């Protein structure tokens, strides 16, 4: 049947009719909120390039958690800014490190699901995601040993899920082994499997103060145009024992999300990163776009592409609108 018998507009004629045939829906449980703790501050801090994103001191966990949970969001991804940085990022795996303290405080005072981002770049004085050789190149195999130690310290502090974001080879296997050896057999790994070398991380590095001093991350993060390589990265992470896989960034990589969804049966996360958020915020602040609609459309697009869960700085705002 074709026009004039067939009319697509029949199912678009009312709000109720459209709701009935909706193929993709967002729910607060889809969202994971990234949250930052800074060991050097006493009061909540903001960052110009990330309007609405707060950095918290190591206190007031009950209020932080209840504010988040009142929006309907129950999952967070924790980042830390340490008191001191050094060449080997020792703050990342210190027993009394910033993230370890934040995690145990939050777990003690709330029932939030706490995911720990695992990397060294916030903790190294050179800003790279691992330890460097004399030429300034990240040494893979020494770095993943430190990732293992970091994972154990985060799980010891009470982290529900460990999320390694450093893009080192063999990191998932090394972390799985370290966690199991330490008795954390039931702590899942959310692998930043296909993490691209993206300019969209800029505002995050303002918040986390983690831009590399010399060089860049092109030697370990993936080049933006490589779709097949992204599938190999995911495949390896699955083989190494990842429980959840991730594509990052999200908006400019919807094809990668779709292909990962079609190829793999694991839960799939997508990270709407700082630059994606900051661009929407900036345009909205100029009055150039309708922020609420663009926020929802960007998140719906990520879910329609195949993501089961979305890490987003819009988590609370979006959840409140649903």
Q: Which residues are the active-site residues?
A: 195, 248
Cβ at position 60, least distance to Zn ion in Å? 27
Q: Is 299 in the site for ligand PBG (CB under 6 A)?
A: no
Q: Nearest Cα to 41, choosing from 57, 53, 61?
A: 57
Locate tokens 């709330």: which residue? 110
Cβ at position 207, least distance to Zn ion in Å? 13
Q: Is 121 in the site for Zn ion (CB under 5 A)?
A: yes
Q: Is 274 in the site for ligand PBG (CB under 6 A)?
A: yes
For 190-278, strand residue ranges (E) read 190-195, 244-248, 268-272
Q: Is 273 in the site for Zn ion (CB under 5 A)?
A: no
Which residues 6+ apart lie within 8 Å of 164 measured at CB?
Answer: 118, 119, 147, 151, 171, 172, 175, 189, 191, 192
Q: Is 204 in the site for ligand PBG (CB under 6 A)?
A: yes
**For ligand PBG, which residue of 35, 119, 161, 319 counts as binding (CB under 6 A)?**
119
Q: Nearest Cα to 198, choosing from 221, 179, 175?
A: 221
H or E element at residue 172? helix 171-181
**For ligand PBG, which residue of 30, 38, 117, 240 counts as binding (CB under 6 A)?**
117
**For Zn ion, which residue of 102, 129, 173, 309 counts as binding (CB under 5 A)?**
129
Which residues 6+ apart lie within 8 Å of 269 measured at CB?
Answer: 32, 190, 244, 245, 246, 247, 307, 308, 309, 310, 311
H or E element at residue 163? strand 161-164
**Cβ contact 222:197 at 8 Å:** yes
Q: Binding mask 150-169 vs ligand PBG (x if CB under 6 A, - otherwise)?
A: ---------------xx---
Cβ at position 198, least distance to ligand PBG in Å? 8
Q: Is 129 in the site for ligand PBG (CB under 6 A)?
A: yes
Q: What residues make contact with Zn ion under the rule CB under 5 A?
A: 119, 121, 129
Contact residues toward ligand PBG (CB under 6 A) are: 117, 119, 121, 129, 165-166, 201, 204-205, 273-274
């Amino acid at each position: 049947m074709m026009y004039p018998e067939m009319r697509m507009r029949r199912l678009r004629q009312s709000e109720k009719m459209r709701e009935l045939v909706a193929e993709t829906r967002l729910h607060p449980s889809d969202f994971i909120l990234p949250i930052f703790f800074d060991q050097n501050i006493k009061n909540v801090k903001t960052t110009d390039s990330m309007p609405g994103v707060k950095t918290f001191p190591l206190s007031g966990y009950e209020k932080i958690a209840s504010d988040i949970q009142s929006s309907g969001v129950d999952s967070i991804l924790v980042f830390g800014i340490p008191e001191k940085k050094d060449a080997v990022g020792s703050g990342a795996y210190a027993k009394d490190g910033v993230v370890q303290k934040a995690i145990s405080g939050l777990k003690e005072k709330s029932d939030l699901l706490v995911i720990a981002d695992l990397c060294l770049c916030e903790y190294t004085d050179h800003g790279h995601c691992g330890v460097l050789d004399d030429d300034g190149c990240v040494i893979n195999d020494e770095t993943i040993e430190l990732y293992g130690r970091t994972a154990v310290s985060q799980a010891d502090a009470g982290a529900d899920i460990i999320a390694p974001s450093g893009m080192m080879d063999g990191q998932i296997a090394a972390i799985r082994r370290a966690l199991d050896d330490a008795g954390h057999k039931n702590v899942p790994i959310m692998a930043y499997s296909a993490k691209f070398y993206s300019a969209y991380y800029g505002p995050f590095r303002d918040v986390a103060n983690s831009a590399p001093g010399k060089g860049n991350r092109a030697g370990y993060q993936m080049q933006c145009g490589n779709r097949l390589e992204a599938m190999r990265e995911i495949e390896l992470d699955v083989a190494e024992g990842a429980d959840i896989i991730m594509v990052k960034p999200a908006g400019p990589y919807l094809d990668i999300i779709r292909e990962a969804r079609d190829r793999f049966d694991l839960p799939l996360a997508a990270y709407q990163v700082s630059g994606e958020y900051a661009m929407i915020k900036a345009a909205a602040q100029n009055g150039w776009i309708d922020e609420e609609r663009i926020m929802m459309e960007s998140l719906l697009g990520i879910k329609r592409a195949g993501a089961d869960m979305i890490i987003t700085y819009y988590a609370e705002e979006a959840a409140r609108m649903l």
